[in-house]
Amino acid sequence: MALADDEIILAHRNSEWTGHAPILEEDIAFSNIAQDEIGHAVIWYTMMAELLGEDPESYPDQLVFFRDPSGYRNAQLVELPKGDWAFTIVRQFLFDAAEILRLEELRHSQYQPLAEAANKIQKEEFYHYRHTHAWVQRLGLGTTESHRRMQAALDDIWPYTAQLFEPLPDETLLVEANFVPDPAGLHSAWRNLVVPSLEEADLVVLVEAMPVTAPRSHHTEHLPALLAEMQAVARQVPHAEW
């Protein structure tokens, strides 16, 4: 659920760039990423439906369009407003890095359906990571203005990243069963991946900022607004056919 919610909320934020990205090509690239993420979320929601004995066709829509903010389990990182282009790129880069590492581990999960899904999603996420990594380097090393914006974005975003690696309730059982990777191990692998890349782009990680470690049921004021928009049509006409 946490994986799926991260993807769907971030996809919505990224889709807000459709028609507004700095250039047409990037507009298409980010809309692609947003669509890929929706696709990944559907895979996870469908897997949940199967585990819970729900209808795999309707359950994902049910979860996405008819759950209140308190029912969402996404990290606060992904619900923050899209900000400027630097903010979007830094957030996406840090998130993609976490995803590729997590998925790499999930590919070896003892739970077969999870391993298969991870195998498939990993390929696309690797490309997302490559794309945002390229952008981080160019904006970090670009002009004084682009560097300033990137550093400011990083300072704002960094504290929120901790929540991506906070253990979920009962996750220890799954870790012990080798179903999912240990979040602490993932966190340090992630730091080893992103910090050198950021430094290469002349960006400095502030260590003093207090990390956000709230449980995933706690949200910022931005999530209700986002959901109000995302769910509006579905809630007005619950049984509409498409």
Partner 1 sequence: MPDTQWPNYEVFQQEREGQPHRNVGSVHAADAEIALQNAKDVFVRRPNCLSLWVVPSVMILAKSSQELIDGTWAETVPDTPASAEPEPYFVCQKQSQKLSDTYVVHVGQVEAANPVEALRRALEQFGEDPGWVWWVFPARAVTQSEPEDIESMFDPALEKHYRHQYHYHTVAGMRKIKKGQNS
Q: Which residues would be at the binding site for partner 1 (CB under 8 A)?
A: 23-26, 28-29, 32, 36, 39, 120, 123-124, 126-127, 130-131, 134, 138, 241-242
CB of 117 to partner 1, least distance (A): 13
Q: CB-wise, 123 or 218, nearer to partner 1? A: 123
Give counts: helices (H), strands (E), the chain.
Answer: 10, 0
Distance in angstroms (rounded) separating the CA atoms of residues 6 and 167:
15
Q: CB-wise, 26 or 54, nearer to partner 1? A: 26
Task: Decide: residue 16, CB within 10 A, 0-12 exposed, 13-18 middle, 19+ buried.
Answer: middle
Helix axes 2-15, 24-52, angle to 10 degrees: 150
Q: CB-wise, 111 or 127, nearer to partner 1? A: 127
CB of 71 to partner 1, least distance (A): 28
CB of 123 to partner 1, least distance (A): 5
CB of 35 to partner 1, least distance (A): 8
Q: Could you give phi then psi for residue 178, rounded to 5 degrees? A: 60, 30
Q: CB-wise, 108 or 130, nearer to partner 1? A: 130
CB of 33 to partner 1, least distance (A): 9
Q: CB-wise, 35 or 220, nearer to partner 1? A: 35
Give the C-alpha distances (Å, rounded to integers) separating 147 from 80, 111, 138, 143: 21, 43, 9, 6
Q: Could you give phi then psi for residue 177, rounded to 5 degrees? A: -85, 5
| Other beta carbons within 10 Å of 98 | 24
